[in-house]
Copies of this chain bind each other. A is one copy, B any other.
């Protein structure tokens, strides 16, 4: 295949190679409209930046809807894990807050080309983000944490193995005598909550337990979810509830405190994620641990593999149950 050059772009647009070069390097004395046109054409022609002379590969971690600045924020270790693998390997890693403005101005491929990024790692992406649509057809590698975007070969996902996680949780509850187990979830619109939901009900089925959809409740707002569905699950005879994530389990524990429902006496509760807060909840929360440092390292591997044309679809880590006092 002929690799498109700056000349090709200049020729196609009827402008000088100097203008193309300036536009691609992000120079300030080029109008936004021209830059956009050059980027669009470059992507369309399959233009690729020549690797930098120092061999440095530039990657970017895009963060949205997730705290990452402090050591106890959810994203901190994900980013640390990624950097710890990337930097010794000679890659340079930027971290950017992903905004609606950037996504409205540039398609994903255009933005990456403009900044010389060879691939992106996405934390906390939302399904309503414009780039979610781009991921179905983009040509620049992307790795999504706990998210999936069609079957584009250059897009991979990393996360914990939700199927294994739900098997662990259900087996654990069953071994402690629970045979009717409910499920509370954040809204099922997102990939990860849908996958956990499916995996939970499959695990009930594999374990020979009642697995009717009547045992589940899902709402966007966690306290709303608990208030609306927990009384029903108790009426259904549930003696334990699995939660889609720890913050929902926390809302559940607070509600139970308020209503005088004893945990774990009357109701066993398991969360998911193992956020630092879990050990300070009342009672301390039994949960499924995601090792975020390892997830970050795995994301680097998945992204560098993609950059080297190994078409990883999913890289999943083992889940681990952390027993505390809520079961």
Contact = CB atoms under 8 A, between A and B. Distances in A.
Interface in A249-284: none
Nearest to A152: B318
A312 B317 contact: yes
A322 to B, nearest CB: 13
Interface in A50-105: none
Nearest to A148: B164
A319 interface: yes
Contacts of A297: 310
A167 interface: yes
A138 interface: no
Q: What class of interface size applies to chain A in its complex with B?
A: 20 to 34
Main secondary structure of the interface of A (DSSP, over half): mixed
A139 interface: no
Nearest to A312: B317
Interface string A151-166: 1010000001100100
A317 B154 CA distance: 11
Contacts of A312: 298, 315-318
A202 B311 CA distance: 24
A190 interface: no
Contacts of A167: 151
A7 interface: no
Contacts of A310: 294, 297-298, 317
A305 B301 CA distance: 10
Interface string A303-321: 0010000111111111110
A164 B312 CA distance: 12
A316 B316 contact: yes
A159 B305 CA distance: 16
Contact of A151 (B198, B291, B301, B318): B318
Interface in A182-229: 198, 202
Contacts of A316: 312-316
15 contacts: A151-B318, A151-B319, A153-B320, A160-B313, A161-B314, A164-B313, A298-B312, A311-B317, A312-B315, A312-B317, A313-B316, A313-B318, A314-B314, A315-B316, A316-B316
Interface of A: 151, 153, 160-161, 164, 167-168, 198, 202, 291, 294, 297-298, 301, 305, 310-320
